[in-house]
Chains A and B, each alone.
Chain A
Amino acid sequence: MGSRPPYPRSFAPAVLSPLQSLRSLGGTGRLARVSDVMISLRHVSKTFPGGTAPAVGDLSLDVPRGEIVVLVGPSGCGKTTTLKMINRLIEPTSGEIYVDGELATSVEAHLLRRKIGYVIQQIGLFPHRTIAENIATVPTLVGWDEQRIAERVTELIELVGLEPEMADRYPAELSGGQQQRVGVARALAADPPVLLMDEPFGAVDPIVRSKLQEELLALQDRLRKTIVFVTHDIDEAIRLGNRVAILNVGGVLEQYASPAEILAEPANDFVAEFLGSDRGLKRLSLIPISTVDLDPGPVVAPGGTVEEARRVMERYGTDWFAVVDGDRMLGWLTEDDLRGAATVPRSGRRFRAWLTRSSSLREALDAIVSGRTTMAAVFDGDRYLGMIDVDTISREIVR
């Protein structure tokens, strides 16, 4: 289960002009790859019959191939409307939508939808069909032969972490979390390049939701789909998105950038308020320890004098020090541990949190706070790298 490094993965520029995309191909003039944009909304608007203001007004947005783009915003701001315009469950009043370079309206709606996975909060499994039959829906529609379907169903049940014997069960026999795993498997069945997900984890409890988010990221590491994910939960958006589109009422795009960028530099007051007063803390979860400088820390080699240990603790203002032999961490000791000893022993207490360079500053802060101290040790495997201190972290918060 590959959990995702906390720092955002790289992403392609959102809007590529034809010239840029040529350049990005090294100027060979090869036009086979239309662009790195998988879904493109061009000045899209939707006004519902009888509606006065548009639910979505003049929205332009490019979704890079192979990335998770999260649409987030307050309830009723037009997220669902935007998502459903991509698979034409809602037809735009004006504007164009391109999917993989093709105008969405250039094919019949039901044929377009067979190439776009769709996962909704209500899940919508067919209650009269088994799990296997549910997953087989789109492959059956597009005419795969029985054996290929059976193999694919087995593969998908395993992929989303369900037990093989669930294949012959009915939806009513599954928990909410299991049902949503089936929902995801069903959407992935015919291997569509695009996945649309509308608050898919909104109806499950927080623990299951967190697990499903983690699984989605692990799945995405393997599958590299283009995913448009709708949520009203900014934490979910930050956790899942390579890019996050923050929408205001009327489908107004307030900011579209990576989570780190948005947290570091909210485009306006609306975004800042939507992120919440703890956005500095949220930001920490996106910054890996490897991006900040480490301090050697209050360390003493085994065999060092008690006097030396006292000096180190005084200098760092701690009531403990670490015993380090070269780059081997032997543990930590307090002043009391030295009573009656002549030199520093070759031992110490284990650190509770084992931070690595890819741990986030948020995790480092947690380790420091729960250890009731000001520093935490960072490792690369068994190798001691140094300490991260609370001041370094707070500098990142205010930045």
Chain B
Amino acid sequence: MSFLADVLAWFADPVNWSGSGGIPNRVFEHVQLSTFAMMIAALLGIIPAVILGHARRGGVLAVAAVNIARAVPSFAIIALALPVSIALGLGLGFWPTLLALVALAIPPMFTNAYTAVRDVDPGVVEAARGMGMTPAGILAKVEVPMALPIILAAVRVSAVQVVATATLGAIVAWGGLGRYVIDGFATRNNVEVFAGGLLVALLAVATEVGFGVLERLVEPRGLRMLRGQEQVVRPAPT
């Protein structure tokens, strides 16, 4: 009882709402880094995947990507990113965290975008070719729109994972909501640890819901009528 009261008190404390260590700034840092990471990962993961899926080549890569993503825990990715970042002269904090998050987000987006495009109904693709659509036209107007629901679902899954994992950035001296958890831990302030965890959880849920709404908005109507179950391959929880 008193613990919950302490948590409420923590949230009520104006000190925790202002300055560089305040909730608004920590949320901003967290969201900013996650957004950068997702944008880079989406470019690096989805574009090659869509092209390879169109050519129906590179299936081995897709399988390898998802397997690696399943095998390597997020914590290890951060640990691996740190020396790389230092070696590149990028130092601690922002860059190793970004590197790790990008590496984390690429595989599920790559694999799902690849299989989604590759598995577009071959009859539809053949009809498109037979009518004289160019390969680029088929990719842009047929394959990508038809794969879009799965691609967006994969983006959502990755985004939630990135938001959750960005917490670990605090270990390598970056800000974000992980600060509360790490600093609270170091000072044995369980209330702060709990509050930090709660904020991360809320942000992750908001991400999930937000992307879910976006998917509903952009999914072509004709596809929604077709859709069965969601076919996204989720990486194992880490």
Contacts and interface: CB of A to CB of B under 8 A. Distances in A.
Contacts of A282: none
Contact of B131 (A114, A128, A130): A114
A152 B222 CA distance: 22
Interface in A120-142: 120-130, 137-138, 141
B130 interface: yes
Interface stretch (A69-77, A92-100, A165-173, A252-260): A165-173
B123 interface: yes
B146 interface: yes
14 contacts: A110-B134, A113-B132, A114-B131, A120-B126, A121-B123, A122-B124, A123-B127, A124-B123, A124-B125, A124-B126, A128-B221, A130-B222, A141-B131, A186-B131
B226 to A, nearest CB: 5
A118 interface: yes
A125 B222 CA distance: 11
Interface of A: 87, 89, 110-114, 118, 120-130, 137-138, 141, 170-173, 183, 186-187, 196
A124 B132 contact: no
Given A113-B129, A125-B124, A173-B225, 19 more contacts: A89-B129, A110-B129, A110-B132, A110-B134, A111-B132, A113-B132, A118-B127, A121-B123, A122-B121, A122-B123, A124-B121, A125-B127, A126-B124, A126-B142, A128-B145, A138-B132, A141-B132, A172-B226, A186-B131
Contacts of A124: 121, 123-128
A120 B127 contact: yes
B210 interface: no
Interface in B120-179: 121-134, 137, 142, 145-146
A169 to B, nearest CB: 9
Nearest to A109: B132
Contact of A110 (B133, B222, B225): B133
A137 B226 CA distance: 21
B54 to A, nearest CB: 15
A87 B124 CA distance: 16
B126 A122 contact: yes
B225 A112 contact: no
